[in-house]
Structure 1
Amino acid sequence: MPLPRHVTPAALLRRLDGIAASLEGQPGTLLLLGLGSVGADLRRLDDHSDLDFFVVVEPAWKAAYVQGVHWLEQVAPLAFHFQNTPDGRKALFEDGILAEYAVFTPDELGAATYAAGRVVWARAGQSPLSMREPPVPAPASLDWQVNEALTNLLVGLHREARGETLSALRFVQGYAVDRVLNIAALLSGPETDQRDPFAPERRAEVRFPALVPEFAAMMPGYGHTRAAARTILNWLRAHVAVPAGLARELDRLLADPEEEDIPAGC
């Protein structure tokens, strides 16, 4: 019989502490680093959070901790797990807690790029203070974001004209919207702990409340990419300088609903 699901912030933190205790009793383990909402900013932790963490091990033990889950099963029963990257796995506990983790050696962690985490456990002699603050990618310049958004619209509209409706959706309602979010972040000034440097859509509703009413029109769904592109272009024109040459071409594409077929392979 399935266990009842009781995922709460307290349960998530207890599970992470249980993982730390398990790792402490295993050979070759050095450190457990909590990330995301169980990392440096616990205020974001809620009933819908999962466990993101890094495990740091001695080089000879890496394969054992990537391929094996015995150290997790000692904490609580698993319902499912699979290796999703060369370095880590996703694992679902029977009670509904999802863990996503990677296993690194100290040298690999030193070369990794990730948002700042929280040391949950470190073996004696493995000083957390010796760990450097990880480099976090900053958004590209405003000009790059604007030009990338506009060319995403251009490619998407051509894909739509060719009949590649799904690809068009991704370019316009996906990639271009990501750029809009980064543009909004750059225009709003420095952010504190709300920005996820790897996923611009995270916490967008909290970060950009004035932009939320535009989301439905920017992402109306499959088969509505032209309308989405028009909304995004209008938003860009209202907030940033749009290069005239790109604007003319986008206006031309948007003005002709029967755009001529484009040869495949472009």
Structure 2
Amino acid sequence: MNKTELLLQRLDEIGQSLKDSKEALALLALGSCGTERERLDQYSDLDFFVIVKDGYKQTYIQDLTWLSKLEPIAFHYQNTVDGHKVLFEDDVFCEFAVFEAHELVNIPFAESKIIWKEVGFDETICQPQRLPSKENRDREWLLGEISCNLYLGLGRYQRGEKLAAYDLIQNRSVKLWTELISLETTSKSNFIDVFNTNRRFEEGYPKEAKQLPYFLQGYERISESAQALLEYLVNTILLTHL
């Protein structure tokens, strides 16, 4: 059995385990194990929501027997108030959240695939009602924020705060740059991650992605990275809009 087959088998096993537990209502698969199966590969993980009856949410969060009965768990920790990240001993990695049905309306998530549902469960509530807010991040805001990050980052670099400078210039500014590119350029990828513009960036924007080695030159070339990003913004973004 290859890795993708194992992932899908484990997903089905989780659905059966939830069914047997009697207090679950549905299992929703997200991302590559959900509606985007075309991109499922050996490096994928299982991302899913468990919908449970009212009053049972904490039971499924605190007691992971419904997972460990399938395969021993090598590592896990509760990464949010709603769920865990779990690594099984056979190298299947999962990230999941547990919700009661009434909570879904307030949870931002992408389209999902129902793997299992209890008879009579209203699957219409599994349609996303909220998407992540763009927080009015228009072109002007993104350019302003990147410019300020570069300015502040270089100041901290001169002060000797290299780690803080690295974060502002090569982490935050480049992340905002990917948002700017996604705002102004049509992606070539069939799978857009509305939660994270870094995901599949190289596939969606191959021309722009060639700039990344210049923007991300590492801890010892912080100022050079800032200069490369600033020159790109001036020559490619600002001048082309004059």
Structures share a fold, TM > 0.5?
yes
Aligned 8 A contact 1:41 1:193 in 2: no
Match of 1:81 among 70, 76, 84: 76
- Cα displacement string for residues 126-164 of structure 1 (whole angstroms, at most 9, x for unaligned residues): 121343323223642122221111111112111111111
After TM superposition, give the deviation of residue 48 of structure 1 in Å. Answer: 0.3
Match of 1:21 among 16, 30, 37: 16
Match of 2:192 among 195, 199, 208: 195
Match of 1:32 among 27, 30, 39: 27
Find the counterpart in structure 2 of residue 142 from structure 1.
Answer: 139
**Residue 74 of structure 2: SS of its match in structure 1?**
strand
Q: Structure 1: how far apart are the matches of 2:128 and 2:226? A: 39
Percent of residue pairs identical:
34
Matched, 1:92 2:92: no
**Residue 135 of structure 1: SS of its match in structure 2?**
coil
Find the counterpart in structure 2 of residue 232 from structure 1.
Answer: 229
Match of 1:117 among 112, 118, 143: 112
- Cα displacement string for residues 240-265 of structure 1 (whole angstroms, at most 9, x for unaligned residues): 238xxxxxxxxxxxxxxxxxxxxxxx
After TM superposition, give the deviation of residue 192 of structure 1 in Å. Answer: 6.5
Matched, 1:157 2:154: yes
Match of 1:220 among 213, 217, 229: 217
**Residue 220 of structure 2: SS of its match in structure 1?**
coil
Q: Structure 2: how far apart are the matches of 1:116 and 1:149? A: 31
Aligned 8 A contact 1:185 1:191 in 2: no
- Measured on the aligned residues, the alpha-carbon RMSD in Å equals 1.8
Q: Structure 2: how far apart are the matches of 1:72 and 1:29? A: 13
Distance 1:142 1:7, change over 3 A: farther
Find the counterpart in structure 2 of residue 257 from structure 1.
Answer: none
Give the unaligned 5+ runs of structure 2.
none
Q: Structure 2: how far apart are the matches of 1:143 and 1:9? A: 43
After TM superposition, give the deviation of residue 193 of structure 1 in Å. Answer: 4.0
Give the unaligned 5+ runs of structure 1.
1-5, 243-266
Distance 1:10 1:191, change over 3 A: same
Q: Structure 1: how far apart are the matches of 2:231 and 2:205? A: 17
Distance 1:191 1:197, change over 3 A: farther
The aligned length equals 237
The AA in structure 1 aligned to 2:55 is A
Matched, 1:68 2:68: no
The AA in structure 1 aligned to 2:69 is Q
- If the length of structure 1 is used for normalisation, what is the TM-score? 0.84
- If the length of structure 2 is used for normalisation, what is the TM-score? 0.92
Aligned 8 A contact 1:156 1:167 in 2: yes
Find the counterpart in structure 2 of residue 51 from structure 1.
Answer: 46
Aligned 8 A contact 1:113 1:136 in 2: yes
**Residue 35 of structure 2: SS of its match in structure 1?**
coil
Aligned 8 A contact 1:7 1:48 in 2: no
Larger Rg over CA atoms: 1
Aligned 8 A contact 1:7 1:97 in 2: no
